[in-house]
Amino acid sequence: DDAPEPSEDETTAAPQPVTATDVKVNVSIPDAAGRASETGADGVGLLRMEHMVLNLGKTPSKYVGDHGERAYIDRIVEGVQEVAEEFYPRPVRVRTLDAPTDEFCNLEGGDDEPKEHNPMLGYRGIRRALDEPDIFELELRAFRKLYELGYDNVEIMLPLVNDADQTAEARNLMERAGLDTDEITWGVMVETPASAMVVEDIADEGVDFVSFGTNDLTQYTLAADRNNENVSDIYDETHPGVLALMSRVIDVCDERDVRTSICGQAGSNPEMVEFLVEEGITSVSANIDAVADVRRRVARVEKRLMLDHARRKE
């Protein structure tokens, strides 16, 4: 037959260890689905929607009403489908839109966007979705279509949530858009200190999972802009203040059977991974290039924990 010869790399690569903690992969662009899948990841821990939507060339508000809702919905459906198909039946966690206002400025309609001094602290993520339910609804209709097409491996993740009220409001909008939140798998990102401190209330709203967005959680906890070189030495994802928040969230969620995950950059950092596996996180999600290393690190930590337990060293 004409199957391609395995490459040198494939024949010599060590088999990946089996881990109890899921090791997933982050995907920012649907075109990367194939490469992401080849890592052998247990799913996609974060599929960003920004690339799909911003590439349309117009701001989302330009699609509402008679202005081509179908095109907007179809773009999201096609983008997610590319990844969900590649990974099926492995789960694909899709995050609803989280673009700061300055990222829209070069698009058609960008002049109508609010001008903000500090877009990272501004009108983005769930706060904007709740304030503009007509636009959010287009995203939710895309999810409904994906479920109708049979992609039951798609999960919905809400960005920049602060509290239970926002979670409940988003859940109501999902229900109103025809999504059964008892049936689907959905959850929120923990990327503000507030969400970490009230995660028990968020859990009570029926989320299936929470996922640490450490890029934002770090900048908001340490008051250090993640894009400002002048404070890059302050910006430390492994700062004890950041770790304490994460530890608290894992404990609370563990008691309530809410799954925990990480999808920020720090999920590719072996020290962070070690800390989180010891704390009992359910899954970690890493960049495509880091998945194999993270998997090996997770396996090593799990083995040590098991041996320690067996030898009653705990």
> Would you tell me which residues interact with Mg ion (CB under 5 A)?
191, 213, 216
**Interaction with ligand PEP in 135-194: which residues (CB under 6 A)?**
191
Contact between 237 and ligand PEP by CB under 6 A: the answer reads: no
Using CB under 6 A, pick the residue from 25, 73, 164, 263 that binds ligand PEP.
263
Contact between 291 and ligand PEP by CB under 6 A: the answer reads: no
Select the span of 10-18, 208-216, 246-254, 275-283 touching ligand PEP (CB under 6 A): 208-216
Using CB under 6 A, pick the residue from 215, 224, 236, 279 that binds ligand PEP.
215
CA torsion angle 99 105 110 112 (round to 10): 90
**Residue 214 near which of ligand PEP, Mg ion, none (CB within 5-8 Å, type-dependent):** ligand PEP
Helices 164-176, 133-148: axis angle to 10 degrees equals: 60
List the beta bridge partners of residue 283: 22, 261
**Measured from the CB atom, is 164 or 266 closer to ligand PEP?**
266
CA angle 192–196–202, rounded 5-degree value? 105
Tally Cβ neighbours within 10 Å of residue 87. Answer: 24
Quickly list DSSP for 236-276: -TT-HHHHHHHHHHHHHHHHTT-EEEE-SGGGG-HHHHHHH
**Residue 166 near which of ligand PEP, Mg ion, none (CB within 5-8 Å, type-dependent):** none
**Residue 222 near which of ligand PEP, Mg ion, none (CB within 5-8 Å, type-dependent):** none
**Measured from the CB atom, is 157 or 298 closer to Mg ion?**
157
Q: Count Cβ atoms within 10 A of the Cβ of residue 143 and give its class: 0-12 exposed, 13-18 middle, 19 or more buried.
A: buried
Q: Which residues contact ligand PEP (rule: CB under 6 A)? A: 46, 98, 191, 213-216, 263-264
